[in-house]
């Protein structure tokens, strides 16, 4: 087997979760002999993890709504991905995900504005 391109793109946790849900449906409709055991294990465990994360309550629409709203903050792709995946609820969380926060966000209000936008767009994560 050869690796043609290591990273075509990155996926958000929500995308992976919804894809695995559709795979599960497909697998369930098959006869027992046609199912793939290894896939069932990893899909179950990955879903278990993701269902306890903020990805469980998100959907494509809310993420698409959030991305353009984050544009004025000039975040990198990786930072945006992290914000979607972890949904920071306070400034400490956000500065953890954004590199050189102090230089890029000299005013705390800016960072608070970002938190407000994220909290408005993305639904709260499931309770543990």
Partner 1 sequence: MFILSLLRDTIAIKPHQFVVDQQMVIKKRLNERLANRVVPDLGLCICVYDISEIGDSYILPGEGDCRARVTFRMIVFRPFVDEVIEAKVIGSSRQGLTLSIEFFEDIFVPAEKLPEPHVFEEEGQVWYWEVAQEDEPPAKLYMDPGKIVRFRTTEIIFKDLKPDLTQEEQKTEKSMEIKGTMASTGLGCVGWWTPEEDDEAVEDEQDEMEVAAH
Q: State the Cα–Cα distance between residues 127 and 55, nearest whole angstrom.
A: 12
Is 64 a binding residue for partner 1 by CB under 8 A? The answer is no
CA distances from 35 to 15, 43, 47 (A): 23, 12, 18
Chosen residue from 21, 64, 69, 99 binding partner 1 by CB under 8 A = 99
Chosen residue from 95, 110, 115, 117 binding partner 1 by CB under 8 A = 95
DSSP three-state, residue 90: coil
> Which residues bind to partner 1, rule: CB under 8 A?
1-13, 15-16, 19-20, 23, 34, 36, 38-39, 41-43, 45-46, 48-49, 53, 78, 82, 85-86, 89-90, 92-93, 95-97, 99, 128
């Amino acid at each position: 087997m050869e690796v043609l391109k290591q990273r075509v793109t990155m996926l958000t946790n929500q995308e992976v979760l919804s894809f695995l849900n559709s795979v599960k449906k497909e697998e369930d409709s098959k006869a027992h002999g046609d199912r793939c055991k290894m896939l069932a294990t990893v899909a179950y465990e990955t879903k278990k993890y993701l269902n306890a994360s903020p990805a469980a309550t998100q959907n494509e629409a809310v993420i698409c709504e959030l991305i353009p709203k984050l544009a004025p903050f000039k975040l990198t792709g990786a930072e945006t991905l992290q914000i979607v995946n972890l949904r920071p609820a306070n400034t400490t969380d956000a500065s953890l995900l954004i590199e050189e926060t102090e230089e890029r966000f000299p005013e705390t209000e800016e960072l608070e504005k970002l938190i407000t936008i994220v909290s408005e767009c993305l639904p709260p994560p499931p309770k543990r």
